[in-house]
Amino acid sequence: MAFAYSDRGYALTESSEGVRLTAYQDSVGVWTIGYGHTLGVKAGDVCTAAQADHWLHEDIAAVVACVNSLVTSRINQNQFDALVDFAFNLGCGALSRSTLLRHVNAERFVAARLEFSKWIYAGGEVLAGLVKRRAAEAALFAA
């Protein structure tokens, strides 16, 4: 069964990412704009709120397709949304290689929920924003 990203999922991503209309370097030095958009972004770029929303929907569409292709077990909407937010932040490659995904596909959902809290590092350091985001994803996954 293929899922679409829900309004609750979008709200999580929007609140976790925040919106910035001027390009900035994220915690590991990647040029970013809008709600975490990185494709082709360089120093000095600016965008409108409408462009940021457009990029968010485009970027989420790619992640939705990825998560739908990687998950082979029966999950619910909340679990799907948590996985999409996770993959949006870390990339589909990280999800595809993760113990989190292995637990999901083996239907070990309690173990999967516990995996979110391991992904709180950027540049080798624990980031408070990632601790908060992973806690929100784990809570949504378990809801």
Digit-coded pLDDT (tens) for 87-112: 999 999 999 999 999 999 999 999 99
Residue 48 neighbours by CB under 8 Å, 6+ apart:
21
Tokens 């397709």, located at residue: 65
Digit-coded pLDDT (tens) for 22-35: 999 998 899 999 99
Assign 59 a pLDDT band (cuts: 50, 70, 90).
Answer: very high
Q: What percent of the chain has pLDDT over 70?
A: 100
Take residue 113 and report the two structure tokens written for it.
Answer: 């929920």
DSSP assignment string, 82-114: HHHHHHHHH-HHHHHT-HHHHHHHTT-HHHHHH
Answer whether residue 128 is part of any domain. yes
Annotation marks residue 17 as catalytic: yes
Answer whether residue 1 is part of any domain. no
Which domain range does residue 57 map to? Answer: 7-142
User: Rounded to two decimals, what is the model's pTM?
Assistant: 0.95
Looking up residue 33, the CATH number of its domain turns out to be 1.10.530.40
Answer whether residue 12 is part of any domain. yes
> Which member of 17, 58, 107, 125 is catalytic?
17
Take residue 52 and report the two structure tokens written for it.
Answer: 């940021």
Predicted confidence at residue 39, as pLDDT, reads 96
Answer whether residue 124 is part of any domain. yes
Answer whether residue 111 is part of any domain. yes
Average pLDDT over the chain, rounded to an integer: 97
Answer whether residue 19 is part of any domain. yes
Structural domain count of the chain = 1
